[in-house]
Amino acid sequence: MDYATLLQVLDTTLRLATPLLLACLAGLYSERAGIFDIGLEGKMLAAAMAAGAVAALTGSAWAGLLAGIGASLVFAALHGVASITFRGNQLISGVALNFLSSGITVLVAQALFRQGGRTPPLTGDARFNPITLPGADALRDIPVIGPLYHEVISGHSVLVYIAFLIVPLTWWVLFRTRFGLRLRAVGENPAAVDTAGVSVVALRFAAVGITGILCGLAGAYMATALQAGFGREMTAGRGYIALAALIFAKWRPVAAMWACLLFGFFQALALRPDVVQAVVQVKVPVPFLDALPYILTVLVLAGFVGKAIPPRAGGEPYVKER
Amino acid sequence: MDRLPRWADVALVPLISLLFAAVISALVLLAIGQSPVEAFKVMATGAVGSAYGWGYTLYYATSFIFTGLAVTVAFHAGLFNIGGEGQAQLGGLGVALVCLSLPWPHWTLALVAATLGAAAFGAAWAAIPAYLQAKRGSHIVITTIMFNYIAAALLVYLLVDVLRPAGQMDPASARFPVGAKLPALNDIPGFDLIFTKPVPANVTLFVALGMAVMVWAILWRTRLGYQIRAFGKSESAAKYAGINPVRITIIAMLLSGALAGMMSINNVMGEAERLLQNSSEGAGFIGIAVALMGRNHPIGVVLAALLFGFLYQGGAELGLWTSIPIEMRIVVQGLVILFTGALDVMVRMILQRIFGMFRSFKAVGAA
């Protein structure tokens, strides 16, 4: 594989890793607070539809982004009410909301645009267009680093850079702020947090809300940056890959970024079977590349690649003793 | 707060949950500018208004009985098996391999062999997540989700590169031999008086009903069933009573996977007569809704499967005759899971309030 091809694959990796990363960080907040969320997929999908629809109607990608976050927050609130207020089964709630989102996105898109459940193709300001980072053109001719900066790092939409900036931000919030300490505590030992006089319910709702916002960004990115509009089931299991990445990263933000880049790299390779074949000298079936993130996650879960220990109070509703 | 009377717990809670789901579905239809009454009429006419419609409704219900029972068995052991979809697809692979291996002389032999093949492949696909849960403590929900995706990828590979006959364009296996053709309800003497037109519902329906009886017998009439239910209620108490958690986890998941796999005799052998991509079409997931709605009891599962059969056939009719997208049925499915599964406590709280009010009225009346 020559250097130019490698850069192309890495460029695709960044673009495909971004929705995974946003969804993965979304799941991180929720699960660190003790709320399992297998509904990342549904929230992303709802956000993608809302973003695609509003961007098409208003011609503004930013309005689309806000709508996407709003739609995702509605689903997050439903999950919060079911799993925090009514202490329902968090896994079942997630499954239910994924189905609800999968159906309702097509219904709404069809009712609004009558284009077979799609939103109209977006152009111009209705999409987040690539931005060229400062100096990208000037540095282009420097060997090795120049093309890397110009082809891979520069030339993405603003949401890609936001996603990667949220990684250190998340680390700082979780490990350097009072809110983060409490958030992690509520996922490990909610009774202790309650005893300290801090509301478990409020903290968990805050976490679920952040999850909603980040899934909103992920979905909006899918519909208004990665692609030009919403199509049915367009998230195609990315919410579950993000969940896999979260476990792979053992619920840590920086590791989550590397996991998402790895899984994004697999997705990029699955688009270029010719490159894979040239490198490993054997014909690798594309479905195998598609399945790699899932296979790796199972291996991690099985404890063959280090042990993944989830937050201790994850999945259990908190009942105050009376 | 007082406990609900048993009849309310068994019948009223699921019915109220269903009512909530129906009301919200109607609101969704109103919001997209459709008439819920018209939609329901179309669904009812198409799904239960004719023998032909029933032929489809029963066909879908057959698949859902299998996947609903699969989720039920796992639920009783305290395990949430979301992998029914992957297990059903592997079951389809088992059916295809059995059907294509021999020139079957008669469908009865083929049915027995294919059922065993489907069960074995489905169980095998559930075995790995079961082992990982029992021995390594990896969460069964996550592993079964991962196995759904791995199963889908595996089947794409097998259908495109291995099982596809030379010269065929679409990714599917070869057609099964004539001897492996299962009689549809319209081929069975007696039933052919009702079903005059060819319908997809076939003899697998009776296998499904037989399995419902079998699951009931295993869960409530055998020592193994007692152990499964005890383990699901309290793992620590079960361990104290000498029940081996590894053994029960693995057996429950093998049974669950086998049941999910068996649904493939209905769609792969009974209907398509060859293995197609995504053969189970989400039926594995509907099993979750069916089990929750059916309160994890085989009788409830059969009734809920009929309801979802109605919903699926009716939803297809909506897609055909109205401008309501076929995805409406996924919305209803999600709402049913939400209300019967996750918002169960809310429904109970509302009912307890109402019952509490009645009781205090009575108390006032008596005094």
Residue B5 lies in a domain: no
Domain count, chain B: 1
More confident call, A73 vs B10: A73
Enter the tokens of residue A79: 């999950």
Q: What is the ipTM of this complex?
A: 0.90
Q: What are phi and psi of B184, to 5 degrees?
A: -80, 170
The confidence score (pLDDT) of residue B19 equals 92
Residue of B131, B150, B346, B349 to mutate, interface with A, max A Cβ within 10 Å: B150
Q: What is the pTM of this model?
A: 0.90
Domain range annotation of chain A = 3-301
Residue B209 belongs to domain spanning: 66-293
- Closest to A52 in 3D by CA, of A220, A235, A242, A300: A220
- Nearest-Cα distance to chain B for A164, in Å, is 26
More confident call, A22 vs B345: A22
- Flag if A102 and B334 touch (Cβ within 8 Å): yes
The confidence score (pLDDT) of residue A297 equals 79
Residues from chain A that touch B136, judged by Cβ atoms under 8 A, are 301-303
The confidence score (pLDDT) of residue A57 equals 95
The confidence score (pLDDT) of residue B25 equals 93
CA dist A137 and A153 (Å) reads 12
Residue B316 lies in a domain: no
Enter the tokens of residue B274: 């060859």
CATH fold, domain A3-301, is ABC transporter involved in vitamin B12 uptake, BtuC (1.10.3470)
The confidence score (pLDDT) of residue A304 equals 67
The confidence score (pLDDT) of residue B367 equals 58
CA dist A30 and A209 (Å) reads 8
- Nearest-Cα distance to chain B for A248, in Å, is 12
The confidence score (pLDDT) of residue A321 equals 66
Lowest mean pLDDT segment, chosen from A27-41, B36-50, B104-118, B338-352: B338-352
Size of the A and B interface in Cβ pairs below 8 Å:
153
Going by pLDDT thresholds of 50, 70 and 90, the confidence category of residue B2 is low
- The answer to whether B331 and B28 are in contact (CB under 8 A) is yes
- Flag if A95 and B285 touch (Cβ within 8 Å): yes
- Flag if A95 and B142 touch (Cβ within 8 Å): no
The confidence score (pLDDT) of residue A107 equals 93
Listed in sequence order, the residues at least 6 apart from B181 whose beta carbon sits closer than 8 Å to its beta carbon are B107, B273
Mean pLDDT of B288-301: 92
Residue B361 lies in a domain: no
pLDDT higher than 60, residue B285: yes
A 189-218 residues with CB below 8 A of B? none
Closest by Cβ to B331, choosing from A90, A95, A104? A104
Residue B146 lies in a domain: yes
Is A304 strand, coil or helix? Answer: strand
The confidence score (pLDDT) of residue B349 equals 86
More confident call, A310 vs B299: B299
Residue of A247, A294, A305 to mutate, interface with B, max B Cβ within 10 Å: A294
Residues of chain A with pLDDT under 50: none
- pLDDT tens for A3-30 read 888 899 999 999 999 999 999 999 999 9
Residue A237 CB: number of other CB atoms within 10 A? 18
Residue B314 lies in a domain: no
Rg of chain A, C-alpha, whole Å? 20
